[in-house]
Amino acid sequence: MHNLDIPAPEKRMRRLRANDTMRRFIRETHLSVNDLIYPIFVEENTDERVEIKSMPGVFRETETTLVDKVKECDAAGIPAIILFGVSKHKDSIGSDSMQKTGLLSRMIQIAKQAAPNILVIADVCFCEYTDHGHCGPLNDDSTDVDNDRTLENLAAQSVNAAKAGADIIAPSGMMDGGVEAIRSALNQSGFNKLPIMAYAAKFASGFYGPFRDAAGCSLGGSQGPKDRKTYQMDPANRMEALREVEQDILEGADMVMVKPGLPYLDVIREVKDTFQMPTFAYNVSGEYAMLKFAAQAGAIDHDVAMMEKLMCFKRAGADGIITYHALEAAELLNQQ
């Protein structure tokens, strides 16, 4: 024994951690099913849903199984889904997504009919619908995406999604002026009440790989640049992210998003504090896959890590989270 006179601490932070009831009583941040948005991939002209190997537990749904998946989300209390098409009718401009009979329109209509009260978010972009995989038509020498031609197409795509019954339009391509073009087109077409959720700060990230497997929009062909760095943001730039968000708000965005989520918690917090707008985080495919494969290897407890991760988005300032964990998380939250 040491003959030291160590005074007992007067301030004992552990008093408020003594049991689960006390911890819940003083908890600062709360996660609920209402915070979750579930992304769904829909492949056309296929008879069977297929699991995505790089995303265990996530499937490419068919247009038939989409009905059951949307109803499952609705029954779990998840308020919103976001749809991504896996098109088999690709061309250089993604024209199928601008057609009222195309996959984008069909899957929105199917989802709304399956569960009329669930919010259907239409991801408006062209990477899933172009044969080169970029987020818009290329310029004449195929060295980059033609920003201003893309704006015209985004306007048409957004109006098409609105006519199909989308509740929210979510432009994800990071084109300069994209929100303004969409807002103008929606207003002129009688959809002035339809909100826009802008992918306002979307970074050129290494965490998107599994999504590109899922949506069939990987690059690597002979057309266009080898990556998306001329339109998605440099991961090193924090202040630029704030300028991007501000610009989208000025152009008419009703909600803003930061993508990816985990590596950009600092950006989520700054966006929320600076603009006080409804702010969303996208817990992207690579973040999902890391947790899944780590759990499969026995390195972590999946459910504990999943709920901690989702809580962190809320703590950072996110009002909602787009996550492939939504159904799993909803099951746990509904048991509480």
Q: What is the four-CA torsion angle of 167, 147, 258, 128, rounded to 10 degrees?
A: 60
Domain annotation covers residue 63: yes
Full residue range of the structural domain in which residue 276 is found: 31-333
The gap between the terminal CA atoms of the chain, to the nearest Å, is: 46
> What gap in Å lies between CA 241 and CA 239, rounded to an integer?
5
Domain annotation covers residue 5: no
> What gap in Å lies between CA 161 and CA 164, rounded to an integer?
5
Domain annotation covers residue 26: no
Q: Is there a contact between 105 and 95 (Cβ–Cβ < 8 Å)?
A: no
- List the catalytic residue out of 90, 202, 272, 314: 202
107-162: per-residue pLDDT in tens?
999 999 999 999 999 999 988 899 888 888 899 888 899 999 999 999 999 999 99
Of residues 223 and 69, more confidently modeled:
69
pLDDT for 213 beyond 60: yes
Report the b/e string of 169-207 with b at 16+ CB within 10 A: bbbbbbbebbbbbbbebbeebebeebbbbbbbbbbebeb
Domain annotation covers residue 17: no
248-289: per-residue pLDDT in tens?
999 999 999 999 999 999 999 999 999 999 999 999 999 999
pLDDT band at 223 (very low <50, low <70, confident <90, very high): confident
Domain annotation covers residue 98: yes
Tokens of 9: 């601490």
pLDDT for 241 beyond 90: yes
- List the catalytic residue out of 90, 112, 259, 309: 259
Domain annotation covers residue 7: no
Number of C-beta neighbours around residue 299 at 10 A: 11
Report the b/e string of 88-123 with b at 16+ CB within 10 A: ebbeebbbbbbeeebbbbbbbbbbbebbeebbbbbb
pLDDT of residue 209: 86
CATH for 195: 3.20.20.70
Q: Tell me how many domains the chain contains.
A: 1
To the query of whether residue 202 is one of the catalytic residues in this protein, the response is yes
Among 100, 27, 37, CA closest to 324: 37
> What gap in Å lies between CA 145 and CA 128, rounded to an integer?
15
What's the whole-number mean pLDDT along residues 76-92?
95
Domain annotation covers residue 24: no
Domain annotation covers residue 19: no
To the query of whether residue 259 is one of the catalytic residues in this protein, the response is yes
- Alpha carbons within 13 angstroms on the beta-carbon side of residue 291 total 20
Lowest mean pLDDT among 36-40, 189-193, 220-224: 220-224
Among 175, 167, 173, 194, CA closest to 183: 194
